[in-house]
Structure 1
């Protein structure tokens, strides 16, 4: 029998799995109490199949279950035209257009198509400021090199998503735009003083916080002026910056704890409890069932041993519960195609300047 504490701790986790139908492993994690499931390209064949998959996951949960995805546009989009969805170019194209009303329409388009197949949260917009042309992971995923433009367009896109009932997620706090390494592979470090962060990186997050964005995702990046040892995801100093200087009080979500920036530098015994203790509310563990269960076990043990105060667990659970307000019902797979690639959606997409794009190689 699953204890109340175990269920409360599992309720801080969003997990990924392999396959086009719910695997036994993900169903076990849903029974254990995870709050959400994240989908990748490896889970997608077509629109009707995605709707059936989401329906099966939510029906198995028998409670609010948040299904999330990376659907930014451009090279980071798990749902594409061959599967029946409207493709939009990368956010840099919206930055070039500079039209907040168009960004809001694009957000609403993405939100309506995600909602049609039962997906509740989009890990978008990217509000990193693209100040480093050598950045291997952000690039055209960012709106602009101008913090004010990133803030204005990021707010508009998030408002569009949330107008369609889909939770937006501003990422990657406090900023991944100036790195020269990819945190999927390495642990990037940035030496910027706080004054520089205030002027450039934090401005878009502050604007999104004021606009009521539903969630923020933390970066696996070391900001040496704030915490020379730990990346943002594990750093109490960075999380205080988010809450106190940026003013964000909703749900903070970690980037995937299985990414090499964390997994190869910090043992799971430090990473999973450390993120919650630092002030992160929800943990993404995207690939391996054994790691997912072990991460839950480690956080539970940290609560039992007093390393994570019960008040911190309660605070995190309350923020996740507010995010779960976006968790919709199981979708009806019948007729889903009629709600995708509509004339209205295609008309919006054709108004966006086109940039050359490639498919995102980092997550499948």
Structure 2
């Protein structure tokens, strides 16, 4: 085994507003690649800065840590006041000024970079085609592939221009599901022609915009693989890698979600996800699942780990987030004004 370690493929969440000692221990040993922040971890600006700084300071130079967050806008934004609160992306899409969407991405990135956060699990590039979808809805920019792709590319350009990595989600599309993958396994029966016309083009647009990463969907796309959800399917992720040509980091969605956890042990999920083409695996809350995932990673052969570890190292080298570029605070007043314009 080279300088990389299996745990670099693991991105973990945690409970509480302080860094848990056991998680910090794994960070010090280079056995965790990143941590994910949720609202439950965040109290205020000084606490968040100290929390993120402690994580970064604990990581060895050979294995720097990446700190990630879901800061989409609307109902999915972990940072709220006094940080800027953004409207849902549907509202941004209806405003339909890509220059403003790019400015939104820049503002998001400035606020995250100020805290030492290097990865935003945004934007959602699912196309909102099902009014009964319980989990996407107004998180999507629009109900057409063209509009979603146009605004996703703009937001990615703004966000990544600040040194914060973007993540297009949820491949190959979660916009036309009727169940929540946090609770059960969705199935989509569309023909491949429909997927190529509607679900896939926004991902192509995001990749053309040089998006740093893509997150998978825990959704069965029956036309591509009637047995396995995209996260665990070589057929689905092979399409992303080989037909669409994405060579960046592929994140699994949270492996604790019922769509995967109800059907696979953590060990099986880890092996299947890596064999399918995932690079980084998310466990967003439970310590037991995190530890089982780490144990499974550390038991796998190098052939499944080396290429993902190299992709993750390259992502960190470009979008580490560990060091602020200056002591100048983001222009929060201007961000609030932009949020007001986008909401109008």
| Alpha-carbon separation, structure 2, partners of 1:265 and 1:138 | 23
Residue of structure 1 in register with 2:329 after alignment? 339
- Residue 25, structure 1, aligned to residue 17, structure 2: no
Does the CA contact (< 8 Å) of 2:185 and 2:260 recur in 1? Answer: yes
| Alpha-carbon separation, structure 2, partners of 1:5 and 1:267 | 28
Residue deviations 1:175-205 (CA, integer Å, cap 9, x gap) = 0000001111111001112111100000000
Residue of structure 2 in register with 1:315 after alignment? 307
Residue of structure 2 in register with 1:222 after alignment? 220
- Residue 104, structure 1, aligned to residue 94, structure 2: no
- 1:290 Cα shift? 2.2
Match of 1:9 among 6, 10, 20: 6
**TM-score, normalised relative to structure 1:** 0.90
- 1:5 Cα shift? 7.5
| Alpha-carbon separation, structure 2, partners of 1:109 and 1:57 | 24
| Alpha-carbon separation, structure 2, partners of 1:7 and 1:43 | 28
- 1:167 Cα shift? 0.2
- 1:6 Cα shift? 11
Q: How many residues align?
A: 340
RMSD of aligned residue pairs (Cα, Å): 1.7
Residue of structure 1 in register with 2:42 after alignment? 44
| Alpha-carbon separation, structure 2, partners of 1:53 and 1:21 | 6
Runs of 4+ in 1 over 4 A off after TM superposition: 4-7
Does the CA contact (< 8 Å) of 2:118 and 2:322 recur in 1? Answer: no
Q: Extract unaligned runs of 5+ from structure 2.
A: none
- 1:88 Cα shift? 0.7
**TM-score, normalised relative to structure 2:** 0.95
Counterpart secondary structure, 2:67: strand
Residue of structure 2 in register with 1:327 after alignment? 320
Counterpart secondary structure, 2:5: helix
Residue deviations 1:84-112 (CA, integer Å, cap 9, x gap) = 20111010011101111000000000000
Inter-CA distance 14–49: structure 2 relative to 1 (3 Å threshold): same
Residue of structure 2 in register with 1:116 after alignment? 114
**Which is further off, 127-136 or 341-350?**
341-350
- 1:240 Cα shift? 0.6
- 1:35 Cα shift? 1.1
| Alpha-carbon separation, structure 2, partners of 1:85 and 1:52 | 16
